[in-house]
Amino acid sequence: MNNTDIQRTLDECDADLKAVKSIIDSLGYSSNIVPYLNRYAIIKACGIVEVAFKSIIADHCSKRTKKQVKSYLYHKIKNSSSNPSFDKICELLGDFDKDWKKDFKDKLKSQPDHSRLATSMKSLVDARNEFAHGGSPIVTISDIISYFSDFREVLVILDSIIS
């Protein structure tokens, strides 16, 4: 990945998720604390991929620009709130460059595991939204780690498109 700051952030989140899994494994899946740890993992993973997709785009676009443009990108893109759904990623890409959006969609569709990647993206965002709106998502830490791993693949594709 060209954005080394985001690579480091993704690696740290991956380590956090594995640490949560280790705690859950030691407690046992029937422990009453497991649902809370899973919810933490959902919010952590989804929050990190949100920061990552916005940063990959905004950081690239802020290279060699005036401080006013950097400020705008920071406040309107990086510091905004947006679910990291496939549609939101495509929308933001299209706002900057229609070719980026097309290339991203095409490259993602060309992946042999496209369906799994799309399902994982949707599943992570759906679990986050369910919890954020008062629900109780039914996902395991293994599911969350898998969704996050698949989302990382999508972020690598995103990074390669705009770099």
Asked if pLDDT for residue 87 goes beyond 90, the answer is yes
Q: Is 28 left (phi over 0), alpha (psi -120 to 50) or beta?
A: left
Please report, rounded to a whole number, the percentage of residues in the chain having pLDDT higher than 70.
Answer: 100
Q: What is the 3-state secondary structure (H, E, C) of 53-120?
A: HHHHHHHHHHCCCCHHHHHHHHHHHHCCCCCCCHHHHHHHHHHHCHHHHHHHHHHHHCCCCHHHHHHH
Predicted pLDDT at 82: 86
Ordered by start, the domain boundaries in the chain are 4-162
Q: What is the largest CA-CA distance in the chain?
A: 54
Give the mean model confidence (pLDDT) for residues 86-108. 96
pLDDT of 163 strictly over 90 = no
Mean pLDDT of all residues in the chain?
Answer: 95
pLDDT digits (tens, 9 = 90+) for 39-85: 999 999 999 999 999 999 999 999 989 999 989 898 899 888 888 99
Q: What is the pLDDT of residue 107?
A: 98
pLDDT at 150 exceeding the cut of 90 = yes
Average pLDDT, integer, range 106-119: 97
pLDDT of residue 64: 86
pLDDT at 75: 87
pLDDT attached to residue 13: 98
Taking a C-beta distance cutoff of 8 angstroms, is the pair 44, 13 a contact? yes
